[in-house]
Amino acid sequence: MKESKNLFDRISEQVSRGLAQNTSRRGLFGLLGAGIVGMSSIPLLPVARAAGTGQPQASDLQESGDDQSCDYWRYCSIDGFLCTCCGGSVNTCPPGTEMSPITWIGTCKNPEDGKSYIVSYNDCCGKSGCGNCLCNTNEGDRPMYVPAKSNDINWCLGTQSSVYHCSTAIVVGMAFE
């Protein structure tokens, strides 16, 4: 069996191998597989969508890649549905949701400039799960007894509603070199 980057890559891989024929248990994975296959068919954009749609972005941050894909650089340790696929963006929540003020913070390397940036993975809350673009990457993720470094926790905390909808990846600083 070939080793792959993460479990959802693997699911996608299986779907593309034709497991979709087995329709009796395809409910979830038909959906998930379709999402991932659909995502990978989108050509890589030269600049992240966030920049193009007038969303706030850290000053002078040069980015490339597809921010609706799990392998986008900011998502090096994200667990959940990408807000970029749910009506939000990398750093904004979808309409009618509420951004959690409490979250965990990771560090990702931006391939554009080779520098490491600090990413705050604030969750958007108050609507049931978005269901699109499920990702699970775990660079620097640690078990839940190290909460400041754990993406397994539902971070819809300190919000009116603790129902999880999707996750953002907000660049809040540069790592100390």
Partner 1 sequence: MNRMFQGFVFGCIIASSSVTNADFKPEPIGIIETLPEQYPDHWIMAQDLSFFHMLEGAVRVIDPSEETTGDQYKGQMTSSFIAVFEHSKVRNEHYVIESFFSRGGRGGKRTDLVTIYDPTSLSVSDEIEIPAKRLTGMPKGTQAALIGEEERFLGIYNFTPAQSVSIVDLEKRVFVNEVATEGCGFVIPNGARSFSSICGDGSFLTSNLDASGALTSSTRTETMFDPVGDPVFETPIAYDDNAYFLSFSGKLLPVNIGEKQISAGDWLSLATTEDEKSWRPGGITPMTSDTNGNVYVLMHPDGGEGTHKNGGSEVWVYDLEKKKRTNRIELKNWSLVVGTSGTGKNKFLLATNTDMAIDVYELPTANYARTLTGAGSTPFVIDGLN
Partner 2 sequence: MPGVDNPQRAHVNYILNCQGCHGPEGSGSADGDVPRMKDFLGNFLNVEGGREFLIRVPGVASAPLSDTAIAELLNWTLHTQSPDQIPEDFLPYNESDVIQWRRKTLGDVAHERERLIVRMR
Determine the distance from the C-alpha atom of residue 128 to the mean position of all C-alpha atoms in its chain, rounded to a whole number: 17
Q: Is 6 in the site for partner 1 (CB under 8 A)?
A: yes
Smallest distance, partner 1 to C-beta of residue 27, A: 6
Smallest distance, partner 2 to C-beta of residue 125, A: 11
| Contacts of partner 1 in 83-122 (CB under 8 A) | 102
User: Which lies closer to partner 1 via its Cβ, residue 77 or residue 89?
Assistant: 77
Do 159 and 126 form a contact (C-beta atoms < 8 A)? yes
Q: Which of 123, 141, 152, 155 is catalytic?
A: 123
Q: Is 138 in the site for partner 1 (CB under 8 A)?
A: yes
Q: Is 30 in the site for partner 1 (CB under 8 A)?
A: no
**DSSP for 45-72, written as a single string:** PSS-HHHHTT----TT----S-TTSTTS
The Cβ-side half-sphere exposure at 143, using a 13 Å CA radius, reads: 1
Which residues are part of the catalytic machinery? 104, 123
